[in-house]
Amino acid sequence: MAAIFGLLTCILLTYFGHRGYVETVAYSAYRAGTLVAQPAEVVQVEHFSAAGGYGGNGSSQEVHFRSPDGGEWKSLQQGRQAYFDLEEGRTVRLGLWHGHLVTVEGRYVRTPWSPGAALLFVLLPLAFVLTVLQIYRLRRPKPLFEGNSSGKYVGAAALLAFGSGLVVMFIDGVPWSLAPAFAVSVLGPLAWFTVREISERRATARG
């Protein structure tokens, strides 16, 4: 079991580590004004509407761009209020970071975390927690916490991970929220139960 949880943790850390790095550095470059300007032509503008499903009723606009040297990008805007007023054939100014589209005409267009990625993020703290617990049990049969508190620790991590995932999913433009969300989800319950365990053992020793 420890190997399975460890493998899952490595896969999730690899995915979110790279994604978090790209989003954080791209956003920092946008704030610092160091994006690479790239003229591009609007080659296609598409509109989509959805009824029901995960996101409920909604609409989106997808715009495809092509640079004179053949580079291609696309932006996806959710909600009519965020649509670009663009026509096919128009030349616009893109802001790029290492080939990643960050801005269109100065407007930040990246969505740091899709709903699917944010929900997948919920599994990361749990995989990490379960990996630690399984490795500990392999080395020492005695439970990590007295009174089977390890199960409560996993439950607390799950609740915090779910809440953190909602923050990551709904607060756009804050790509750095992944790091503190993971830290709070994993280390918060661990610190609480560790302090409580130490206090209970000291009280037992004095008694």
The CA angle 178-182-184, to the nearest 5 degrees, is: 120
pLDDT of 109 over the 50 cut: yes
Predicted confidence at residue 117, as pLDDT, reads 60
Instruction: Report yes or no on 27 lying in a domain.
Output: no
> Could you tell me which residues are beta bridge partners of residue 64?
44, 74
> pTM for this one?
0.56
pLDDT digits (tens, 9 = 90+) for 154-177: 666 666 666 665 665 555 445 555
Which residue pairs, CB below 8 angstroms and at least 24 apart, start in 115-118? Answer: 115/54, 115/55, 115/169, 117/16, 117/19, 118/165, 118/166, 118/168, 118/169
Q: pLDDT band for position 54 (50/70/90)?
A: very low
Residues 100 and 125 in one domain: no
Instruction: Tally the domains of the chain.
Output: 2
Positive or negative torsion for Cα 198, 199, 204, 207: positive
Q: Are 119 and 107 in contact (CB under 8 A)?
A: no
Residues 10 and 68 in one domain: no
Count CA atoms within 13 Å of residue 93 on its CB side.
6
Instruction: Report yes or no on 28 lying in a domain.
Output: no
Domain boundary among 55, 85, 108: 108
Domain boundary among 108, 133, 150: 108
pLDDT of 39 over the 80 cut: yes
Instruction: Report yes or no on 145 lying in a domain.
Output: yes
Predicted confidence at residue 83, as pLDDT, reads 83
- The mean per-residue pLDDT over the stretch 118-140 comes to 61
pLDDT of 146 over the 90 cut: no
Q: Show the domain range for 124.
A: 2-21+114-206
pLDDT of 42 over the 70 cut: yes
